[in-house]
Structure 1
Amino acid sequence: MSVAKSRHDGGGSAPGEGGPAGPAKPAGAAAHGGTSTRADRWSTFAQRHGALVALLLTVLIASASFDSFAGAGNLKNIAVSSAFLAIVALGMTFVIVSGGIDLSVGSVFVLGGVLAAWGSKYGPVVALLLPLAVCGGIGLVNGLLIARARLAPFIVTLAAMLGARGLMLNITDEGNDTFLIAKDSLFADLGRGKLLGIGAPVWITLALFLLGGLLLRRTRFGQQVYAVGGNEDAASLMGTSVSRTKITVYAMSGLLAGLAGALNAAWLASGVTILGQGMELEAISAVVIGGTLLTGGLGYVSGSLVGVLLLKVIQNIINQIGSLDSAYQQVVSGAFLVVVVVVQTWLGRRRKARLTAPG
């Protein structure tokens, strides 16, 4: 990866959550005057806030088209159903910003739910810590193989996806056993409890995103994640531990996927074995729609949350229509992803052309 590409990925954005501060423009760029500056601002705005604009427009149109969409009950259902995918997408954000990919999160998610349901008979502590330990361990192994053995993230996490799914099937006798959680248990309150009329998973998700945003935006570790995703060689020369950063983000991804699975099991009061299929693609779509570059070096925690909400609102609208089946949800999500990647590529090329333009 060249230095120019690194600056395309991570440069030109505001310091912090969007990535490290970009390089100073060459003298020739100033010759374009206010036109270039306005173009830069619009490109940055589209990159970071395009998904939010799309979400607001979609909500307005849906509210005007369907009487029940804007009802408090429906909005709360969207929020709770978004919470579990959002937690998975939070971990995926760190992985993609670092230049990696994690295909195992869907299987790790369902494994976490099954382990939580199985462990609930031994108390809430076991129900929560068991999936965190196992799923975090899977993420840690992924990170070690990718960072230390230098194996391709696609292959490593694909193997982890198959392994986690196989472990779940072994625990549940090929999916024939479903472990139940007592609805009056303390652990079930994590998924079914409410605060101010809003489900506990929503509050947990908001707290995690707040912490994740601070970690990515305000800490040395967050800047290292951006640096590794922008250019590994340059990051290493600056003293960043590339291996440690990669191991950490994959361990975080596994840990958060396991937590999301455990909360989902508490919400459903059972460890459902058919969940998680395709969740890794949903998480990747949400992260990319939210403005994170697939090539790494640039991304937003807040954007990933908006991306999840946009996907879930679209799914809810399709359900409101009634005459469309769930297959259309996948079609629309795929179309959104293609459009966003095309726009990201176009904006990136324009930004790179402006930065390297002669006087």
Structure 2
Amino acid sequence: MTTLTPAPGAARRANLLGGRGALLVLVALVVFASLRYDGFLSAYNASSFFRYNSMFMLIGIGMTFVIITGGIDLSVGSTAAMASVMAALASPHGPALGVLAGVLAGGAVGLLNAVLIIRLRIEPFIVTLATFLGARGLAQLASHQAAVSVDSGGLFAQIGQGDVLGIPVPVVILAVALVLGMALLGFTRVGRTALATGDNEDAARLMGLQVDHAKLLVYTLSGLLAGLAGVILAAQFGAGQPTEGVGWELTAIAGVVVGGTLLSGGRGSIFNTMVGVTLLGLIFNILNFENGKGIISIDVFWQNVIRGAFLLVVILLQARSSRTP
């Protein structure tokens, strides 16, 4: 079987765009914002920013693995919402059980996605669209379509609201997940198989790689991390949120793409995904600061338009870089 690969020059440009390019833009925005807005570099703003965006970053790690294999997971937003409800319902029995309930609920959705994709050979888009709807329905059924308060007298809320040595607990959790994710992708057989699968699945199978095993792990991992994001959501806001998570899957996919991971699979970086998600979150943060100056006022709808336009430009540049010899 003959495969087409980008010319070396195109590959270098694509790597530059996906890796260093996003990082350079991020640094430039931080410098700009620090000079323009008082309090931008304050500990409060940094803590609030990463405490909230840690949920998207966790989902982004799982989404990176999925997209690297050439797949997609549209269910992560609904899975996080369902997991937040399950965690809140279990939180009166102790913080450990609350965390376990949320993470396992997410893992169950990821495992179901994997089994349907692998065994029934259904396209990931269709499978995860179905579980997207199913998880949302389960969240609403379990919560009776209302927010479910967490145990206010226990330690569960500290998972989202607490600090460790001045560092938000969600950031500590994210750091652990980030290190483990980078190690899994860069130094294990599962990571190498996932990359090979996205590059050319048929060739990977002919090489004797355990493609189905890798898919099983990455989709389950995506569900587990979405479940963990749901736990943080419930702990941070003091309640399971059945109506939250709308559009989270698009935010995660956008962060992965901005970070340079190819939507067709075969190439990606966990670190660059973190840069992409941070960059997208920073755009909102800067727009909020700009609104606070009172010179212009950009409502949330226009903020979404701006972020969507930015994502479109990145995708067009990525496509052009991969095609140009």
| TM-score between the two structures when normalised by the length of structure 2 | 0.94
Partner of 2:157: 188
Q: Distance in 2 between matches of 1:72 and 1:3?
A: 54
Given that 1:110 and 1:272 are in contact with CA atoms closer than 8 Å, whether structure 2 keeps it comes out as yes
Give the counterpart of 2:188 among 219, 223, 234: 219
Deviations 1:34-62 (A, max 9, x none): xx6xx764543223221111111111111
Using the TM superposition, give the Cα deviation of residue 3 of structure 1 relative to its aligned residue in structure 2, in angstroms.
4.4
Given that 1:285 and 1:333 are in contact with CA atoms closer than 8 Å, whether structure 2 keeps it comes out as no
3-state DSSP class of the match of 2:240?
coil
Deviations 1:175-197 (A, max 9, x none): 23x22123442222222221221
The aligned runs of 1:307-318 (5 Å cut-off) are: 307-318=276-287
Partner of 2:274: 305
The answer to whether structure 1 residue 55 and structure 2 residue 29 are counterparts is: no
Give the counterpart of 1:89 among 46, 57, 60: 60
Partner of 2:232: 263
Give the counterpart of 1:172 among 138, 143, 151: 143
Question: Aligned pair in 2 of structure 1 residues 250, 3: CA closer, same or farther (>3 Å)?
Answer: farther
Deviations 1:5-37 (A, max 9, x none): 4x44xx96xxxxxxxxxxxxxxxxxxxxxxx6x
Question: Aligned pair in 2 of structure 1 residues 41, 244: CA closer, same or farther (>3 Å)?
Answer: closer
Partner of 1:325: 299
Given that 1:318 and 1:326 are in contact with CA atoms closer than 8 Å, whether structure 2 keeps it comes out as no
Count of aligned pairs: 320
Given that 1:318 and 1:328 are in contact with CA atoms closer than 8 Å, whether structure 2 keeps it comes out as no
Deviations 1:200-250 (A, max 9, x none): 000110110111001101111100000000000000011112222112111
Question: Aligned pair in 2 of structure 1 residues 43, 152: CA closer, same or farther (>3 Å)?
Answer: closer
Q: Distance in 1 between matches of 2:225 and 2:156?
A: 17
Q: Distance in 2 between matches of 1:205 and 1:241?
A: 28
3-state DSSP class of the match of 1:187?
coil
Deviations 1:288-321 (A, max 9, x none): 0011000000001001111111111111111112
Question: Aligned pair in 2 of structure 1 residues 56, 184: CA closer, same or farther (>3 Å)?
Answer: farther
When the two chains are superposed, the root-mean-square deviation of aligned CA atoms in Å is: 1.6
Q: Any gaps of 5 or more consecutive residues in structure 1?
A: 13-35, 354-359
3-state DSSP class of the match of 1:276?
coil
Deviations 1:38-87 (A, max 9, x none): x7645432232211111111111111111122222111111111101100
Q: Distance in 2 between matches of 1:190 and 1:44?
A: 36
Q: Distance in 2 between matches of 1:243 and 1:342?
A: 31
The answer to whether structure 1 residue 294 and structure 2 residue 294 are counterparts is: no
Q: Distance in 1 between matches of 2:185 and 2:61?
A: 11
% identical equivalent positions: 43
Which residue identity does 1:89 align to in structure 2? Answer: G
Which residue identity does 2:266 align to in structure 1? Answer: G
Which residue identity does 2:323 align to in structure 1? Answer: R
Q: Distance in 1 between matches of 2:108 and 2:15?
A: 37
The answer to whether structure 1 residue 345 and structure 2 residue 314 are counterparts is: no
Pick the structure with greater CA Rg: 1
Q: Distance in 1 between matches of 2:163 and 2:69?
A: 35
Give the counterpart of 1:281 among 250, 254, 260: 250
Given that 1:3 and 1:231 are in contact with CA atoms closer than 8 Å, whether structure 2 keeps it comes out as no
Structure 1 stretches of 4+ with a deviation exceeding 4 A read: 39-43
Give the counterpart of 2:94 among 123, 127, 130: 123
Question: Aligned pair in 2 of structure 1 residues 267, 220: CA closer, same or farther (>3 Å)?
Answer: same
Which residue identity does 2:318 align to in structure 1? Answer: Q
Q: Distance in 1 between matches of 2:238 and 2:200?
A: 45
3-state DSSP class of the match of 1:4?
coil
Q: Distance in 2 between matches of 1:297 and 1:327?
A: 34
Which residue identity does 2:45 align to in structure 1? Answer: N
